[in-house]
Amino acid sequence: MTEYAISTKNLSVAYSDKPVIWKLDIGVETGSRTAIVGPNGAGKSTLIKAIMKLVKPVSGESAVLGSTHKSALKEVAYVPQKGEVNWDFPATVFDVVLMGRYVHKGLFKRPNKKDKKIALDALETMKMSQFKDRQISELSGGQRQRVFLARAIAHDANIYIMDEPLQGIDITTEKLIIDTMKKLQAEGKTFLVVHHNLNTVPDYFNRVIILNKEIIAAGPVEDVWTEDNINAAYYEKSDESWIS
């Protein structure tokens, strides 16, 4: 049996009295590029927030590399949605990427030369070296996403969880992100990505989780990426009797 990079068991999350995700059993295979797709309000972001232990589930649990403990999350580089941070913050591109190294630094320890080198290399990978001293408020949407991904690369994790990394970016950046993802996957890294463009799913990912509060289908793209499954998630009103 494959050991899962990320797994959930009976995971449910609710905001006050409204369930957002319901009894999810998920296994994200190590070394896969897994997409999470589903309509608005399907609970995609909530699912990854629950995996990152940023929201508390009402039932069930999630595990990273088999461990439900919080410390296992150090193996995960999380790329939040662009809109979740204050882009007017007084920091340069390099400052933000260097934050990716903080996870490896204990209390009272500052990033050293080696950390700075790793951050510079990550910037190079995302082709952002020339902007390293630019203030982050002066970046375009695509550049901001590259900075986030560079930070995740600097983190040097085994698992990447990304929330809509391709939302509102230019085509060059999209291609760069996908190429980087494929390159890192070849090195054995795992990707779990919230994705919104249905057309590109088969090109960009090898596994997919189709979600609409519950799991509609999950597995290799060639098996589960069917019209029936997509329609079931997007167009048919799911049975909401259990919401009451």
Partner 1 sequence: MIEVFAVLLVTALATSLLGVFLVLKGQAMTTDAISHTILLGIVLAFFITADLRSPLLIIGAAVIGLITVYLIELVTSSGMMKQDAAVGIVFTALFAGAVILVSRYADDVHLDIDVVLMGQVLFAPLNRVDILGVSLPYALVQLTVILIINILFILMFYKELKVTSFDPVYAAAAGISTTLIYYLLMTLVSVTAVTAFDAVGSILVISFFVTPAITAYLVTKRLSHMIWLTLLTAAFNSLAGCTFGYFTDISISGSVASVSLLTFLAVFFCNKNGWIRKTLKSRRMLRKI
> In Å, what is the CA distance from 5 to each residue of 68, 72, 106, 179, 201?
12, 11, 25, 21, 20
- Rule CB under 8 A: which of 153-192 touch partner 1? 155
Each as own residue / partner, the long-range contacts of residues 101-104 (CB below 8 Å, 24 or more positions apart, any chain) are 101/154, 101/155, 103/74, 103/155, 104/156
For 108, the 3-state DSSP assignment is coil
Given the complex with partner 1, which of 105 and 175 has the nearer CB atom? 105
233 token code pair:
């998630």
**Piece of the chain touching partner 1 by CB under 8 A; list 18-26, 104-112, 120-128, 216-224:** 104-112
**Piece of the chain touching partner 1 by CB under 8 A; list 67-75, 119-127, 165-173, 223-231:** 67-75
Shortest distance in whole angstroms from residue 51 CB to partner 1: 10
**Piece of the chain touching partner 1 by CB under 8 A; list 26-34, 102-110, 185-193, 221-229:** 102-110
Count of all residues that appear for the chain in the document: 244
177 token code pair:
């992100």
Given the complex with partner 1, which of 4 and 148 has the nearer CB atom? 148
Kindly tell me which residue out of 23, 63, 92, 198 binds partner 1, with binding defined by CB under 8 A.
92
d(CA 56, CA 49): 9
Kindly tell me which residue out of 96, 176, 208, 230 binds partner 1, with binding defined by CB under 8 A.
96
56 token code pair:
């508390």
Kindly tell me which residue out of 14, 58, 63, 99 binds partner 1, with binding defined by CB under 8 A.
99
The helix or strand, by DSSP H or E, that contains position 23, with its residue range, turns out to be: strand 18-29
Q: Does 198 bind partner 1 (CB under 8 A)?
A: no
Query: Which amino acid type is present at position 211?
Result: L
27 HSE (CA, 13 A, CB side): 9
Kindly tell me which residue out of 107, 171, 186, 241 binds partner 1, with binding defined by CB under 8 A.
107
Shortest distance in whole angstroms from residue 7 CB to partner 1: 18
Kindly tell me which residue out of 2, 16, 199, 244 binds partner 1, with binding defined by CB under 8 A.
16
Q: Does 105 bind partner 1 (CB under 8 A)?
A: yes
C-beta of residue 178 within 8 angstroms of C-beta of residue 184: no
Residue ranges that bind partner 1, judged by CB under 8 A: 16, 52, 54, 70-71, 73-74, 76, 78, 80, 84-86, 89-92, 95-96, 99, 102-103, 105, 107-108, 110-111, 135, 151, 155
